[in-house]
Amino acid sequence: MSDSSEGASTLDRILGYASRRLGRDGEPPSSPTDKVFVIGLGRFGSAVCATLVDLGLEVMAIDIDSALVDKWVDILPNLRVADATDGATLKQLGVRDFDATVVAIGTGIEASVLTVAALSDAGAPNIWAKAMTPEHGRILERVGAHQVVYPEIQMGERVARIVSGAVVDFFELGDGFVLAEIETPKFLTGKPLAESQLRHSYEVSVVCIKPNGGQFTYATAETVPEQGNLIVVAGAIDAVKRLTDASRKGSR
Ligand code: ATP
C-alpha cells in the first residue's frame, strides 16, 4: 500500500490506453473520435470538457445557464448558451457532425431524458449520458443513449473497495470484468506464476507486476513475485474478490 500513487498512475496509463483502443462495449471504435459535443457545464460536464481539450480534441459545449458559460469561456473555446431539450437548436448546432455527444445533466432528470431523446431524433451518432440511478439509466437507454455512465455509483464502489483495503486500485472495464491492483498474495510469492496456476484456480490473470522499489513491468509465466510486490490482475469481479479474500485470510 505504501507506494500506491506511482502504481495508480501506471494503472491509469494502462486504462487510458485501453479506453482509447476500445469502446465501452469492448468493440474497437469504427473511427477515431475528434469532435465531441458536451451538454451541461456542471462539475461532471466541465471535467469532461477540460480533459477532452487537454487530449487535443475539438469540443463544443452548451449550458442553459449563461453564468456557467461565462465562467468557462476563457478555458473552453467553443461555448453556447442553449436549451438542449430543443431539437431544432441541437440540429442547428450540428450535433450530427460530431463523433460523440456527452449528456452531463444528472440531477435534472427530466432535462436529461428529454435531451437524450432530442439528440437521438436529431441523429447524433454516439450518445453518452450520465445517470444518477439504474432506473434513470434504463430510461436513457430506452430513449436513445448508446452508453450510460454512473459516475457517483461507480466512484462510490471504487472508493469503498480501496478504503476497505481489499485493493490498491480498481477499475471496471464493463460487464463485471475488472482490472485490480493488489498486493501480491503470500501464496503467489517465491515461485513462477505458471506454477501458481492462478488462471486455473481463480480464473484471473496477472497482467503486470511492480517489484519493490521498481517500475511496473509485464508479467510472464516465468515471473516470480516477491512479498510486497504489487500486481495488476484481470478477471471477473467475483473471481478477483475470491482472490483478495483468500489473500486476506492467508489461504490458498
Ligand atoms: P454536476 O455535474 O455538477 O454534478 P448534476 O449532475 O447535478 O451536475 P445538473 O445540475 O442537473 O446535473 O445539470 C448539469 C448542468 O447541465 C448544469 O450546469 C445545468 O445548467 C445544465 N443543464 C440542465 N438542463 C439543461 C438544458 N435543458 N440544456 C442545457 N443545459 C442544461
Taking the C-alpha atoms of residue 208 and residue 117, their distance in angstroms, rounded to an integer, is: 43
Q: How far apart are CA 115 and CA 98, in angstroms?
A: 16
pLDDT tens column, 160-176:
888 888 899 988 887 88
Going by their DSSP bridges, the two strands 217-218 and 204-210 should be labelled as: antiparallel
Cell of 219: 508479467
- Please tell me whether residue 140 adopts helix, strand or coil conformation: helix
Q: What is the percent of the chain where pLDDT is above 90?
A: 73
Work out which ligand 1 atom sits closest to the CA atom of 45: 2
pTM, rounded to two decimals: 0.76
Q: What is the rounded distance in angstroms from the CA atom of residue 13 to the CA atom of residue 7?
A: 10
CB atoms within 10 A of CB 95: 23
**Ligand 1 pocket: which of 63, 112, 113, 130 to mutate (most atoms within 8 A of CB):** 63
Q: From the CB of residue 181, how many other CB atoms can be counted at a distance below 10 Å?
A: 24
- Radius of gyration, alpha carbons of the chain: 21
Q: What is the pLDDT of residues 32-87, one digit of tens each?
A: 789 999 999 999 999 999 999 999 999 999 999 999 999 999 889 899 999 999 99
What atom in ligand 1 is closest to the CA of residue 68?
18
Question: Within 13 A of 218's CA, how many CA atoms are on the CB side?
Answer: 2
Residues flanking ligand 1, CB < 6 Å: 39-45, 62-65, 68, 83-85, 104-108, 111, 115
> Which of 65-74's residues contact partners 24+ apart within 8 Å by CB, and which partners?
65/41, 68/41, 68/42, 69/41, 71/41, 72/41, 72/46
CA distance 163 to 175: 23
Ligand 1 centre distance from Cα of residue 78 (Å): 18
CA distance 135 to 137: 5
- The sign of the CA dihedral 211, 220, 171, 160 is negative
